[in-house]
């Protein structure tokens, strides 16, 4: 039985006032796919039945919109909305692919992408692409508004750096026009299972010169947070795009990755698969 008090503000200003009043004693509720399960089972802080701040009564928080250099995503935008968005398909196709394999249709219909970020799991499908895009998280309080880089916002498994009176009110994803990329994840089965290792790549190619102008590589489920493969990125940047270079990159990313062994996989397999998955994506981009 649910015994939590639910507060339903009519505006973002009212929500911020309530968050300022209650601080960490109140928890935001959007899709509820994680929060309500935790409440039901009295996991973590939920044994004390804290109040919930219901964001669903606030208008215009479920909007995806385009600006000159980014795509902005509101806190009530569901995975299904992201999956079906023409803007996301056009400017962030790797995110469309990542979202398509999250959970089940029921979970995607309810769960929100910002909720997925705030859950801060290193195995979350959305995060690798968002790290490669150097996404910004808009954190708002009654008296402040700040855009925080996602790698600074997420500090560890289930941990985010946000003021006690703060709410995430927007996701700002750079367009990276001209870039190509892909997202691949390995898991025990295709859906409704947790990622063993994942990789997102965004690359800017000068095809007439067969050269990699820029590249971003992010790895999931190999560290406490998503990590960028910076050494491998440095190897590939401004280089002629050849099969020999791909082989070097495959070897380097294996050495660069420092995963752990856990219940889902072991570090040896995870290390090996980072090279395999990177090779698959780079070969698919080879002119």
pLDDT tens digits, one per residue of 204-252: 999 888 899 999 999 999 999 999 999 999 999 999 999 999 999 999 9
d(CA 42, CA 38): 6
- Reading the block at residue 84, the tokens are 């079906």
**pTM higher than 0.85 for the full model?**
yes
Q: Which residue in this structure is represented by tokens 């954190």?
A: 139
Q: Which residue in this structure is represented by tokens 């208008």?
A: 59
d(CA 119, CA 158): 5
Q: Which residue in this structure is represented by tokens 């994803």?
A: 173
Please report the domains of the chain, with CATH numbers, ordered by start residue.
Answer: 6-57 (3.30.43), 64-174 (3.30.465.10), 185-285 (3.30.390.50)
Q: Which class for 273: exposed (0-12), middle (13-18), buried (19 or more C-beta within 10 A)?
A: buried
Partners of residue 180 on adjacent β-strands: 203
pLDDT the model gives residue 272: 93
pLDDT the model gives residue 43: 66
């Amino acid at each position: 039985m649910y015994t939590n008090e639910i507060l339903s503000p009519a505006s973002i200003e009212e929500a911020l006032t309530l968050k300022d009043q209650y601080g960490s004693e109140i928890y935001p509720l959007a899709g509820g796919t994680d929060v309500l399960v935790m409440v039901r089972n009295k996991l973590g802080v939920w044994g004390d039945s804290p109040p919930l701040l219901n964001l669903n009564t606030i208008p215009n928080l479920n909007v995806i919109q385009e600006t000159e250099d980014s795509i902005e995503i509101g806190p009530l935008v569901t995975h299904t909305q992201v999956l079906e968005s023409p803007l996301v398909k056009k400017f962030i196709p790797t995110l469309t692919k990542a979202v398509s394999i999250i959970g089940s249709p029921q979970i995607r219909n309810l769960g929100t992408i910002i909720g997925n970020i705030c859950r801060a799991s290193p195995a979350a499908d959305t995060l690798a692409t968002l790290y490669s895009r150097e996404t910004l998280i808009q954190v708002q309080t009654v008296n402040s508004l700040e855009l925080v880089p996602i790698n600074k916002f997420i500090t560890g498994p289930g941990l985010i750096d946000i003021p006690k009176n703060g709410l995430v009110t927007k996701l700002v994803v750079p367009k990276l026009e001209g870039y190509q990329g892909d997202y691949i994840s390995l898991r025990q089965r295709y859906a409704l299972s947790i990622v063993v290792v994942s990789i997102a790549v965004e690359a800017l190619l000068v095809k007439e010169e067969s050269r990699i102008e820029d590249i971003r590589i992010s790895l999931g489920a190999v560290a406490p947070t998503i990590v960028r493969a910076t050494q491998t990125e440095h190897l590939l940047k401004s280089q002629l795009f050849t099969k020999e270079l791909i082989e070097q990159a495959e070897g380097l990313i294996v050495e660069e990755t420092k995963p752990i062994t856990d219940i889902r996989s072991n570090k040896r397999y995870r290390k090996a698969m980072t090279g395999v998955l990177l090779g698959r994506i780079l070969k698919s981009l080879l002119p």
